[in-house]
Amino acid sequence: MSDNQGSSNIAIKVMPENTSIKKTKHLVVSQKNINETMQRYGYCEEIISTINKENLLPCGLLSRLHASYPQHSGFLETQPFLFNDKEHYSGLSGFREVCAILNNNGIDIGHIVEREFFVEVYRFLATRHSLNSINWDDYPTDSVFQLVFPQPKMINDETTQKYIDAKDAKARTQVAIDYTELTNPHDGNQQLNKPWFENDEGEIEFLDGSQHKYPQCQLIFDKTTQNCFSFCTYCFRHAQVRGDEDMFIQKDIKQIHDYVRLHPEITDLLITGGDGGYMPASRLKQYIMPLIEDPSLLHVKNVRLATRSLTFQPEMILSEKYDGMLEVFDLLRDNGIQLAWMAHFSTPRELLNPSTIAAIRRLQNHGVNIRSQSPIMNHISLFMDDNNQVDIEKSARNWIDLAEILGMMCVGFHSMYCARPTGEHHYYTAPLADIEKVFNLVYRSLASINRPSRHISMTISAGKLAILGTSVIDGEKCFALKFTEARNMQWMDRVFHAKYNETENTIDFLTPFDTEKYFFADELKQIEHDLAAALAKKLN
């Protein structure tokens, strides 16, 4: 007998009889569990058939996710959902309807008038899925509750008291209207990003529903995407959701193609809103067919869809009604155009439910590349300790777990970014110094393949500015900064420094380290002046 044969016999001899059981004991989610959770979610026969036929909820995947992150998982929960009827709840009436359902189940969230003030200023939208994602046994600390429900102290005390003291509903609404003017819906001088071109008749055409700030990417706010599945309380584009007069809204698709033909530097069309997931398949097809058929549009390589439907209404993707959209995605893939699905996952809980897992796998089966770009927001994905200081380890753990789960689902972790200075910025933000510490812990704790693709950044008028870390120059600590996107793309080549500040929460307000002003300041001022002057001239 050879040594190899002897080794083989010994190995077999010492293997315990129950090895097969031990090998699979982590398979804690059975097909029976999956069938029960599909019933709990109230899936219709059509969706159950799709899930089974397309193998969207394999036991091995759900078991591995649950065994790895049981503290976030909802796969084995059995508690009945509170919301089982309507698919959407919207506006003041919808908010009151939700509160009534909660009250009927012994839950009083309190501060109702204060919360209604926020709803009148910004709106309220919530889906059945998002409401049932909340842990109602501990809702005040639940991230999704903070994400979709207005909270006390969001709007300043003085204005809130004025709303509370108003004599009637009409007077309260007027307080809300007046405050709306102060909410800064277009931070970063977004109105200057509106492009225009001269058409074949020599007339100037504005793209009223588009932005073209960075050479490669054009944002499109289509007329069909001016809504959301649920409204994020920190929304950066509340002008779109509430229908402000100066909102971006694109009605003419041909106009987009005419403009893109004149700009061969454009490689990406980014459909946003509101929520890009609201666009019907027929409308999306009108955007993409010229990209496929017209050689003059060959430079467009990617179509990005910015949507939170995977967090707020993933069941939509599992329905037969979505088959038409999947056919459009197949068409893009088969013609060499990437469909990049830009999701916004902030917490592991948003992922670890059967609807979202199944929806992700269905999209991936049709060539969709899903990436997650997420804001790091206090109360949602950033947490304070008992001393009201940023809890670095707890906050980082949220993102580390999220990154690992994204990796297990083959979803790219695109980026983390700071709260933009719009809406109730003070409520969600934290000192940049602390956020940088959280990011650094996240970054060094992850294998390189699961790290975010860029350092934490914030959008400002000049571009997207990232904090690379800290430096010590001549014994003084400072932030190292670099653009990841810029109005002048050559700015991206240079690392520069700002004075270290332990309290500032906005990159725009950091002080240059060794100069009176940043190297790009004069050029930015000129660019903004020229854009504003050209815009005024064209409008007149």
Beta bridge partners of 412: 371
- The alpha helices in 26-154, defined as continuous H runs, are 31-40, 45-53, 59-68, 91-104, 112-122, 128-132, 143-148
Q: What is the pLDDT of residue 16?
A: 44
| For range 143-159, the mean pLDDT | 96
Question: Could you tell me which residues come within 8 angstroms of residue 238 by beta carbon, excluding any fewer than 6 positions away?
Answer: 122, 123, 183, 185, 422, 423
Q: What is the DSSP letter of 229?
A: S
Q: Is residue 437 part of a domain?
A: no
Mean pLDDT of 83-95: 95
**Residues 47, 93: one domain?**
no
- Check the CA dihedral 422-427-428-431 and report its sign: positive
Model pLDDT for residues 342-361, shown as the tens digit of each residue: 999 999 999 999 999 999 99
Domain that holds residue 495: 455-539
534: in domain: yes
Question: What mean pLDDT is predicted for residues 93-106?
Answer: 98
For residue 1, what pLDDT band results from cuts at 50, 70 and 90?
very low
Beta strand 125-127 pairing with 496-499: unpaired
Predicted local confidence at residue 423, as pLDDT = 87
Same domain, 213 and 335: yes
Is the pLDDT confidence value at 14 over 50? no
Give the HSE-up count for residue 276: Cα atoms under 13 Å, Cβ half-sphere.
23
CA dihedral 234, 237, 240, 241 (to 10 degrees): -10
Please check whether residue 272 is in contact with residue 219, taking contact to mean a CB–CB distance below 8 angstroms.
yes
Amino acid residing at 10: I
Q: How far apart are CA 445 and CA 390, in angstroms?
A: 18
Same domain, 267 and 298: yes
Q: How confident is the model at residue 187, as a pLDDT?
A: 57
Whole-number mean pLDDT of the chain? 91
Q: Provide the pairing of β-strand 412-417 with 369-375.
A: parallel
On whether both 278 and 163 belong to a single domain, the answer is: no
The predicted model scores a pTM of: 0.91
| DSSP secondary structure code for residue 497 in this structure | E
Here the tokens at position 275 are 């929520």
* H helices present in 143-234, as ranges: 143-148, 157-165, 169-180
Long-range CB contacts (< 8 A, 24+ apart) of 186-191?
186/239, 186/246, 186/422, 187/236, 187/420, 187/421, 187/422, 187/459, 188/420, 188/459, 188/460, 188/461, 189/461, 189/528, 190/248, 191/246, 191/535
pLDDT band at 2 (very low <50, low <70, confident <90, very high): very low
What is the tens place of the pLDDT at every residue in 271-323?
A: 998 899 999 999 999 999 999 999 999 999 999 999 999 999 999 999 999 99
CB proximity list for 361: less than 8 A, separation 6 or greater: 54, 55, 56, 57
Other Cβ atoms less than 10 A from the Cβ of 391: the count is 17
Q: How many other CB atoms sit within 10 Å of the CB of residue 404? A: 19
Residue 465 lies in a domain: yes
Let me know whether 462 and 331 are in one domain.
Answer: no
**Residue 192 and residue 121 share a domain:** no
What pLDDT is stored for residue 9 in this prediction?
38
Residue 340 and residue 192 in one domain:
yes
Handedness of CA 367, 287, 265, 214 (dihedral sign): negative
Whether 518 maps to a domain, the answer reads: yes
Best mean pLDDT range from 177-181, 280-284, 506-510: 280-284
277 and 256 fall within a common domain: yes
pLDDT at 15: 36
Domain end (from 140, 167, 183): 183
Q: Are residues 411 and 528 in the same domain?
A: no
- Of the three residues 149, 183, 217, the one that is the final residue of a domain is 183
When pLDDT is averaged across residues 430-437 and rounded to a whole number, the result is 96
Crossing angle between the packed helical segments 31-40 and 59-68, to the nearest 10 degrees: 80
Q: How far is it between the farthest Cα atoms of the chain? A: 98
Q: What percent of the chain has pLDDT over 90?
A: 79
Residue 141 lies in a domain: yes
Q: How many CA atoms lie within 13 A of 495 on its CB side?
A: 8
In a domain, 15, yes or no: no
Task: Residue 327: give its domain's CATH number.
Answer: 3.20.20.70
pLDDT band at 6 (very low <50, low <70, confident <90, very high): very low
Please, are residues 109 and 139 in contact by the beta-carbon 8 Å criterion?
A: yes
Taking 70 as the threshold, does the pLDDT of residue 243 lie above it? no
Q: Which two tokens stand for residue 229?
A: 């599945």
Q: Could you say which of 123, 155, 183 is where a domain stops? A: 183
For residue 364, tell me if it sits in a domain. Answer: yes
Structure token digits, residue 66? 């649950």
In tens, the pLDDT along 448-485 reads 999 999 899 888 889 999 999 999 999 999 999 999 99
Would you say how long the chain is, in residues? 540
Quick check: 364 and 410 in contact, CB under 8 A?
yes
Asked whether the beta carbons of 285 and 330 are under 8 A apart, the reply is no
Q: CA 523 → CA 47, 194, 488, 490, distances in Å?
A: 55, 19, 9, 12
Buried b (16+ CB within 10 A) or exposed e, 333-364: eeeebebbbbbbbbbbbbbbbbbbbbbbbbbb
Give me the mean pLDDT over the 125-135 stretch: 97
Instruction: Count up the domains in the chain and report the number.
Output: 4
pLDDT at 12: 32
Pick left, alpha or beta for residue 109 (phi over 0 → left; psi -120 to 50 → alpha; otherwise beta).
alpha
pLDDT tens readout for residues 434-455: 999 999 999 999 999 999 998 9
Q: Collapse the DSSP code of 70 into the 3-class scheme (helix H, G, I; strand E, B; otherwise coil) and give the result.
A: coil
**Nearest CA to 505 among 472, 467, 477?**
467
**Tokens 């666009």 -> residue:** 279
Output DSSP code: residue 493: G
Looking at residue 326, its pLDDT comes to 98
| Identity of the residue numbered 237 | R
* 357-386: pLDDT as tens digits: 999 999 999 999 999 999 999 999 999 999
Higher pLDDT, 187 or 105: 105
181 conformational bin, left if phi > 0, alpha if psi -120 to 50, beta if neither:
alpha
How far apart (Å, rounded) are the C-alpha atoms in residues 434 and 430?
A: 7
Q: For residues 231 and 235, what is the distance between their CA atoms, to the nearest angstrom?
A: 7
Asked whether residue 346 is assigned to any structural domain, the reply reads yes
For residue 178, give both structure tokens: 């007046």
Nearest partner of 86 among 124, 128, 126, judged by Cα: 128
Contacts of 367 (CB under 8 A, 6+ apart): 329, 330, 332, 333, 339
Q: Is the dihedral of CA 211, 217, 222, 228 positive or negative?
A: negative
Answer yes or no: do 49 and 177 share one domain: no
Q: Which pLDDT value is given to residue 494? A: 96
Q: Comparing C-alpha atoms, which of 390, 450, 381 is closest to residue 418?
A: 381
Residues 44 and 93 in one domain: no
Could you read off the pLDDT of 22-70 as tens digits, one per residue?
A: 555 677 999 999 999 999 999 999 999 999 999 999 999 999 999 999 9
Same domain, 204 and 348: yes
pLDDT at 199 over 90: no
